[in-house]
């Protein structure tokens, strides 16, 4: 019988193998072609067949793939489909937070438990978020957005502006505004918008959500959305001020679709859902507090937002909160 210590050790190896398989394109290739010629894959990409075989051997141990005796042909195993769906989580942890995992004791000893000190890799966090976001978030987002009519929307923390561009492609009358604090992301978004020929309908402003004030681009915004950055606004007084300033910065706002992962308060010991333990652990190491649902609801109320509904996402302990700016009694929000 495998003891818990053995399971934990082997799982760490499995997580690394899954992340590498995703990054190298192995999982995508096998998903498209079953059975899959590993030898040909390695030749085309100048990869070591021996090393790839070793990675696939680990996946075989977890029933993710099946292998022939010479490790030249692979087939999907019983666990392949679920691992393929979750592959972004593994890249998020192994590559996005690899420096933290590797240097955990030293980071704590040196007092570097903050966002900059842990050395997280934004490139892989973005890549992994795009993968699991497209699988576990976008369908819910589209459904909630389409519950009510809209023409002009804004995205707080828009990153590459993919969601805004997607809305523009799907809706000829749509206009969108992205708000992003990272200058590199702003430049990338603007280039992407230009390449897509959407400059006349989608624009991005360089602004810090923590200190948001009215901009002319915000005048006609009807729907605002924000994904997975709300916890970055805490501690509570700072977040409260941010949520109040949002109401003032968007004078004609009708809805605010705010999405985030909240604290699980999951009892220990036991296995929480995938992503939950990693999310809460990494944020503990960055000194970032993760609020739970009652704390969010209390903040919404004090900041002047009415919660019309909460829509759970397919990511554990994650929801879209459908907020409405509260009328103060004189016809103004």
- Of the pLDDT bands very low, low, confident and very high (cuts 50, 70, 90), residue 329 is very low
What pLDDT, on a 0 to 100 scale, did the predictor assign at position 220? 95
DSSP string, 144-205: HHTTS--SEEEEET-TT-HHHHHHHHH-TT-EEEEEES-HHHHHHHHHHHHHTT-TTTEEEE
Q: Exposure of 52 by Cβ count < 10 A (0-12 exposed, 13-18 middle, 19+ buried)?
A: buried
Contact 176, 167 (CB under 8 A): yes
For the stretch 8-33, pLDDT in tens is 999 999 999 999 999 999 999 999 99
What pLDDT, on a 0 to 100 scale, did the predictor assign at position 330? 39
**Angle at alpha carbon of residue 100, lines to 264 and 226, rounded to 5°:** 50
What pLDDT, on a 0 to 100 scale, did the predictor assign at position 66? 95
Predicted TM-score (pTM) of the model is 0.85
- Of the pLDDT bands very low, low, confident and very high (cuts 50, 70, 90), residue 328 is low
Q: Is the pLDDT of residue 297 over 90?
A: yes
Contact 74, 41 (CB under 8 A): no
State the chain's maximal CA–CA distance in angstroms. Answer: 76
For 192-229, b/e burial (b = at least 16 CB within 10 A) is: bbeeeebeebbbbeebebeebeeeebbeebbbbbbbbe
What pLDDT, on a 0 to 100 scale, did the predictor assign at position 169? 94
What pLDDT, on a 0 to 100 scale, did the predictor assign at position 333? 52
The residue-averaged pLDDT of 161-165 equals 89
Mean pLDDT of the chain: 91
Share above pLDDT 70 across residues of the chain, in percent, rounded to a whole number: 98
What pLDDT, on a 0 to 100 scale, did the predictor assign at position 46? 96
The residue-averaged pLDDT of 89-97 equals 95
| Complete domains list, the chain, with CATH | 4-85 (1.10.10.10), 137-325 (3.40.50.150)
> Which residue did the predictor score with more confidence, 324 or 1?
324
For the chain, helix (H) and strand (E) counts, in that order, are 14, 10
For the stretch 181-215, pLDDT in tens is 878 778 888 998 999 999 999 999 998 888 889 99
The residue-averaged pLDDT of 238-249 equals 94
């Amino acid at each position: 019988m495998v003891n818990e210590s053995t399971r934990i050790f082997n799982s760490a190896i499995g997580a690394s193998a899954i992340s590498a398989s995703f990054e190298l394109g192995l999982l995508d290739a096998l998903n498209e072609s079953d059975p899959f010629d590993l030898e040909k894959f390695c030749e085309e990409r100048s990869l070591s067949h021996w090393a790839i075989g070793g990675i696939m051997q680990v996946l075989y141990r977890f029933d993710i793939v099946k292998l022939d005796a010479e490790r030249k042909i692979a087939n999907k195993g019983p666990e392949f489909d679920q691992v393929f769906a979750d592959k972004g989580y593994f890249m998020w942890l192994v590559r996005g937070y690899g420096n933290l995992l590797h240097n955990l004791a030293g980071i704590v000893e040196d007092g570097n438990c903050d966002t900059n000190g842990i050395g997280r890799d934004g490139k892989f966090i973005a890549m992994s978020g795009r993968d699991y976001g497209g699988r576990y978030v976008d369908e819910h987002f589209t459904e909630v957005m389409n519950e009510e009519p809209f023409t002009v929307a804004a995205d707080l923390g828009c990153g590459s502006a993919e969601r805004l561009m997607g809305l523009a492609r799907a809706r000829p009358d749509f206009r969108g505004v992205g708000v992003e604090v990272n200058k590199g992301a702003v430049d990338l978004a603007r280039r992407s918008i230009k390449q897509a020929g959407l400059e006349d309908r989608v624009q991005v402003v360089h602004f810090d959500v923590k200190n948001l004030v009215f901009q002319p681009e915000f005048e006609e915004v009807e729907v605002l959305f924000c994904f997975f950055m709300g916890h970055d606004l805490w501690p509570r007084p700072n977040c409260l001020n941010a949520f109040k300033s949002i109401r003032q910065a968007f004078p004609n706002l009708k809805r605010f679709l705010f999405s985030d992962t909240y604290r699980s308060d999951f009892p220990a010991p036991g296995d929480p859902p995938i992503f939950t333990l990693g999310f809460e652990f990494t944020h503990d190491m960055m000194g970032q507090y993760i609020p739970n649902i009652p704390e969010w609801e209390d903040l919404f109320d004090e900041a002047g937002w009415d919660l019309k509904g909460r829509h759970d996402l397919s990511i554990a302990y994650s929801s879209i909160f459908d907020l409405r700016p509260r009328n103060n009694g004189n016809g103004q929000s």
